[in-house]
Amino acid sequence: MPNTILVGAQWGDEGKGKIIDVLTEGADIVVRTQGGNNAGHTVYVGKKKYVLHLIPSGMLRKGKICVIGNGVVIDPIGLLSEINGLKDLGVKINGRLMVSETAHVVLPYHRELDAQREILKGKNKIGTTKRGIGPAYGDKAARTGLRMVDLMNPERFEVLLRMRIKENNEILRALGAKGLSFKKVHETYRAAADALRPYVENTVVLLHEAHRLGASILFEGAQGTYLDIDHGTYPFVTSSNTTSGGACTGSGMPPNRMDRVVGVMKAYTTRVGEGPLPTEDAQISDMLHGMGREFGATTGRARRCGWFDAVATRNATMVNGIDELAVTNLDGLDQLDKIKVCGGYRCGGKVLDYVPNDIEAFSSCEPIYMEFPGWRVSTEKARTWKQLPLNARKYLKAVAEMACAELSIVSVGPAREQTIQL
């Protein structure tokens, strides 16, 4: 398998974890390159459910190497609890997980600032996961962040942490929150540093060496295109580049070493958190929530649901360079008589076939729908293209054509085997 970048083509939670797990079979190394434990990637192995936040989803396939790249922001306590949780479930981690020494560290003041800033924003809040992601990337850009390499150096860590807690406590108190105790944070993070030490290394050199020896590398995107700090619905976005370019900067593998980009999308649309979602619709939301589906893997929040948005997905194909599409959750549409797809927006008296950058304009866009007949039978047992109902095949073909990418995978359930590879 060539080096593959996998990205979310919508607003996150497209089913990236499941598709990564499927594609890992043919890969040697899986790399996370951005985001942090705001991500929640669900993988089923048999009946066992795993939700991965920082560790690449490839960890659930025996013998595969997993890398947390330099572009990720790492909450050491979160990472340790994930490592221990997987170990308890019988997953072998040692010798298979490598963590970049230049990845930035998420510290308790980042989480506290994230929460306080959301409170301050009131009704304009972003609806973050409160994992400290924005403040941690903010420190990275401001050059006031601590990296894993700093966490591994006890003397330097102590000096830097003392300085950073002093400054951040001033900010927290000004926001009406309590300051943090240096002693407590220091103790906890020093212990975490020692536990994580065996995993920390120069992952850029490791990846290049593996590439030179012919390894096939899978880059696991987190979040989705419309949560991208540059190409998303700013300011209702996360703080990293979730689009394909982020895989290069977040791993140190250059663009000319990448062979293909796979975009993952649901057969409909979901979003968790605030911000525009033109195709949001009560009928499909109620139906999916009624089926017990579409509750967040990280925060448990009910996801907002809507129809498939071909305009947004076409734009995602463009900015990510998506070659192939993996469509998940087709089975979520099984019960419907009619399925709507947004093919354009009506906005300020004009018809648009692109996503407007102005957030107010995008929020006021009215979708222009076309309708497809449903299939009204379960697709969950389909294992080949031909076993899918004709109307489902027509829907998928139309959706891929509108998204301007080749359909390569269809997922009809959360399990590994509920996957059709074309």
Contacts with 344 (C-beta within 8 Å, 6 or more apart), sequence order: 311, 351, 352, 353, 367, 368
DSSP letters, 14-37, are SSHHHHHHHHHTT-SEEEE-S--T
The CB-of-172 to ligand IMO minimum distance in angstroms stands at 18
Pairwise CA distance, residues 406 & 404, whole Å: 7
In the complex, the smallest distance separating the C-beta of residue 129 from ligand GDP, rounded to whole angstroms, is: 12
Contact 33, 203 (CB under 8 A): no
> Which listed residue (64, 131, 266, 314) binds ligand IMO by CB under 6 A?
131
Asked if 40 interacts with ligand IMO (CB under 6 A), we say yes
Report the nearest approach of ligand IMO to the CB of residue 382 (Å). Answer: 25
Tell me, what amino acid is at 313? T
13 binds Mg ion (CB under 5 A): yes
Residue 55 C-beta: closest distance to Mg ion, Å: 14
Distance CA 214, CA 187 (A): 42
Long-range contacts of 90-95 (CB under 8 A, 24+ apart): 91/59, 91/60, 92/62, 93/59, 94/198
x-or-dash string of contact with ligand IMO, 291-310, rule CB under 6 A:
------x-------------
The span from the CA of 68 to the CA of 103, in Å, is 8
Residue type present at position 230? D
Kindly tell me which of 16 and 340 has the beta carbon lying closer to Mg ion: 16
CA distance 42 to 91: 15
Segment contacting ligand IMO (CB under 6 A): 38-46, 63-71, 85-93, 152-160? 38-46
Give catalytic status of residue 211 as yes or no: no
By DSSP bridging, strand 338-347 and strand 366-373 are antiparallel
Q: How far is the CB of 186 from ligand GDP (least distance, A)?
A: 33
8 is a site residue for ligand IMO (CB under 6 A): yes
Of 111, 104, 184, nearest in space to 151 by CA: 104
Q: Which does 164 bind (CB under 5 to 8 A by kind): Mg ion, ligand GDP, ligand IMO, none?
A: none
Task: Give the range of 72-80, 121-129, 247-255, 390-398 binding ligand IMO by CB under 6 A.
Answer: 121-129
- Of the candidate residues 15, 40, 246, 414, the single one contacting Mg ion (CB under 5 A): 40
Q: CB of residue 65 vs Mg ion: minimum separation in angstroms?
A: 23
Nearer to ligand GDP, 252 or 413 (CB): 413
Which has the closest alpha carbon to 249: 129, 131, 137? 137
**Residues 417, 220, 362: CA angle, nearest 5 degrees:** 105
Catalytic residue among 28, 41, 53, 150: 41
- Point out which span in 32-40, 94-102, 184-192, 321-329 binds Mg ion (CB under 5 A): 32-40
Phi-psi region for residue 354, left (φ > 0), alpha (ψ -120 to 50) or beta?
A: beta
To ligand IMO, the closest distance from the beta carbon of 108 in angstroms equals 15
Question: Residues 74, 54: contact at Cβ < 8 Å?
Answer: yes
Q: Among residues 13, 28, 114, 309, which one is catalytic?
A: 13
Q: Indicate if 110 belongs to the active site.
A: no
CA 88 to chain centre: 25
Name which of 130 and 394 has its Cβ closer to ligand IMO: 130
For 321-343, b where at least 16 C-beta lie within 10 A, e where not — what string?
Answer: bbbbbbbbbbbbbbebeebbbbb
**At residue 419, what are phi and psi to the nearest 5 degrees?**
-135, 135
Give me the least distance between CB of 37 and ligand IMO, in Å please. 9
Residue 18 binds which of ligand IMO, ligand GDP, Mg ion, none (CB < 5-8 A, kind-dependent): ligand GDP
Residue among 185, 204, 195, 194 at smallest CA distance from 101: 204
- Site residues for ligand IMO, window 236-265 (CB under 6 A)? 238-239
Contact 400, 378 (CB under 8 A): no
Binding mask 265-284 for ligand IMO (x = CB under 6 A): -------xx-----------
Query: What are 407's strand-pairing partners?
Result: 325
Which parts of this chain interact with ligand GDP (CB under 6 A)? 8, 12-18, 40-42, 297, 328-329, 331, 411-414
* Binding partner of residue 413 among ligand GDP, Mg ion, ligand IMO, none, CB cut-off 5 to 8 Å per kind: ligand GDP
Which residues form the interface with ligand IMO (CB under 6 A)?
8, 12-13, 38-41, 126-129, 131, 133-134, 222-224, 227, 238-239, 272-273, 297
Which residues form the interface with Mg ion (CB under 5 A)?
13, 40, 297
- Just list the catalytic residues: 13, 41
